[in-house]
Amino acid sequence: MNDTHWFLLKRVAWTAFAAYLILSGAFFVFAYTPDPNEALVSFAAADPSDPANMSEDSKQAVAAYEQARNYDEPVFQRYADWMVGYATLDWGRSVTTGGPVTDALADRIPVTLAYLVPAVVVSTLLGVGVGLVSAMRPNGVVDRVSAALSYVGLGVPGFVLGELLLVASILHFSWYRAYYDPRYGLWTAENLVSLALPAFVVALNLLAAQARYARAESREYLLAEFVKTLRASGADARTIGRHVLRNAALPLLTVFFAELLTVLFLTVYVVEVVFRVPGVGQLAYQAIEQRDIGLILATTLLPAFVALLGNLFQDFAYTLLDPRVGDET
């Protein structure tokens, strides 16, 4: 086994261990934190017309609630069941939907991916391209326009930009397809069109960061000796840009994953609430409103798992772009 394979094996093992720590931490926080739904169950079971039995009825209701959720079992038995359940994708049942939590996620994840994937692809390609052109032609038209868009994309919060787009779309352009319509399916023209605005907000946020960092990294490499050699040999701008991007790939990849995780944790949740997109973000919002503990945990842990897998994929990409990464570790 060479150094690169050993490096990747260590990264896989660390990812699995980190997932174990996250699941364990979530369990013990959940196990030793009072369940707010118990107070609601107790209040709902109390009969004001029979004050003598109010306390007894409440206790019986809470006991039944705890038994249904295995709260009456030993902590370590619950911990073992918890770890096995998450490992086998048995994440419990949702109070909000009445079905398994995994079914609720399976219904919502495709909706989120339907606008998130195009936004990520377009913003990455445009951002890196615009950043490279801006670095090679400073103070040009592309550089000035990208700088202005970067300030908008990074400075304006997603919910503000989303609300502004909604007002402009509905009030000024009478475009009522800005909202997702649950009467139609995901892959219908009505709802695919309605996902254009959420995709635009996400893409602008990512595009601003990608263009800014691509410009900064490209400017550093444009001063390198290999670029001077290429220019002296008469290489054209396209050839120089290709060599610059090849050398700047590793730092740009780091920025890409960092910004993507930020979008997953923040922008997606805000955008889906603003545009009423029935994706994972809106599911998390509904779970908080309904105090649905199972869904809250699932929608909280899901981005954490995505972050772990993203970092693992980043490590694999590093070794493909530069095999010396594995050798240095």
pLDDT of residue 57: 67
Write the DSSP assignment of 253-305 as a string of letters: HHHHHHHHHHIIIIIHHHHHHHHT--SHHHHHHHHHHHT-HHHHHHHHHHHHH
Tens of pLDDT along 4-17? 778 788 888 988 89
Domain ranges of the chain: 110-290
Q: What three-state secondary structure class fits 314?
A: helix
User: Which token pair is 326?
Assistant: 């594995």
The one-letter amino acid code at 20 reads Y
pLDDT of residue 111: 92
Task: List the one residue out of 306, 212, 312, 207 whose CA is nearest residue 265.
Answer: 306
Tens of pLDDT along 78-101? 888 888 888 888 888 887 788 899
CATH for the stretch 110-290: 1.10.3720
Tens of pLDDT along 162-178? 778 887 777 776 666 77
H helices present in 32-140, as ranges: 36-45, 54-68, 75-87, 101-136
**52 compared with 288, residue with greater pLDDT:** 288
Tens of pLDDT along 250-288? 777 777 777 777 766 778 888 888 888 899 989 988 888
The answer to whether the beta carbons of residues 208 and 202 sit under 8 Å apart is no
Q: What is the mean pLDDT of residues 226-230?
A: 84
Using the 8-state DSSP alphabet, how is residue 3 labeled?
A: H
